[in-house]
Amino acid sequence: METNNIEIPQGFRLLALEGGIKYAGRKDIGLIISTRPCSYAGAFTTNRVQAAPVRLCRERLGHNIHAVIVNSGSANACTGEEGYRDAVTITRLLEKGFGFPKGSALSLSTGVIGVPLPVEKFETALADTSRAETGAEAFARAIMTTDTVPKMAAKKVVLPGGREVRITGFAKGAGMISPNMATMLACIITDVDIPVKKLQKYLLEGLEDSFNAVTVDGDMSTNDSLVVLANGASQTALQDKEERRAFKKALFEVMESLALQVVKDGEGATKCIEIFVDQAKTRRDAELAARAIANSLLVKTAFFGNDPNWGRVIDVAGYSGADVRESRMELFYHDRVIFSRGKPLPFDKKELAAKLAAARDIKIRLSLGEGKHSRRLYTTDLSYDYVKINAEYTT
């Protein structure tokens, strides 16, 4: 996955502006600008409390889109009808500034819930974009909140005859991550020529094993949004099943990379933990067991302390709601089986603890011995820093 020297698909511009929304002296507004109208696909939080930008983006699904404005510093969530009007206002400012049709821009916001958008600051920032910083990394940094690194991914799809299309994606998110659709915010742009129904289909098919396969803290945001824009600037359409398959695979790889970058940058995280539950009776059983383990505070703190406390994993599987039997389960840390058929197997605890301490990436596998279904999730450990970051988030 390309993360250095990120190429921007044809027909797109990326800008970063300083709005002073929460802090002075930093870029906090990112713009995606397309010279051509884009097919627009999206997926959003299933939280019943939804931020104003989510409402606006849902309403504009199926419309031709020219631009996206993304801000950090304010989530514009729980801000009432005024918040919705503010989201519409800043998109209209963007549309007028670049000469785009009314209703052809999207708003995405991230930050503290309940803080109104300072519309006048957006108006000032958008009044003169000539001093904006440009490029992929500038945009990625402008949308960060508690993130410690910008999150970007890109793929080039080479089709028969030397035809090429590019896919480039950006994400922000480090905490409040247990999305039931996407990460906190993600934008993917591509210059392929593709019908919106096909684009939406590929997006939804890729969610399950990318953004829906990660959790940092078990909390779902009010603002979770994934938008994908395709402007056709490459003048390259997908002509057959093989080409569609190649594009779909590349789109998924961008989504997967962004999702994993979110986990690896989890607030206070020192480890990325892959949890693989297999041999489940049903897909739902595999999901229940894997997600319960991934969100268990006791499991996460054990990994932070490099404690091979396997009993916590078995315990969580037992109460997860999945159909499990102790006598059939096997648990592996990396490739070492440490619990099998109802009892622990001998292992050197100090040796395994040392291996956990030395590893940034950890793999555990729980085989339920009940069937053929599986589920893979990615999570983090839970550190002192996570508590500190979130205890002081608004103060």
Enzyme catalytic residues: 183
Answer whether 222's CB lies under 8 Å from 109's CB.
no
Which residues are within 8 A (CB) of 179 and not within 5 positions of it... i.e. 6 or more apart? 45, 211, 212, 214, 220, 221, 224
Answer whether 53's CB lies under 8 Å from 223's CB.
yes
How many Å apart are CA 303 and CA 313, to the nearest integer? 11
Question: Using CA atoms in the order 392, 150, 254, 393, what is the torsion angle rounded to 10 degrees?
Answer: 10
Phi-psi category of residue 279: left, alpha or beta, with phi > 0 → left and psi -120 to 50 → alpha: left
Answer whether 376's CB lies under 8 Å from 331's CB.
no
Structure tokens that stand for 341 in this block? 């058929």
Nearest to 129 by CA among 205, 48, 31, 46: 31
How many Å apart are CA 380 and CA 346, to the nearest integer? 27
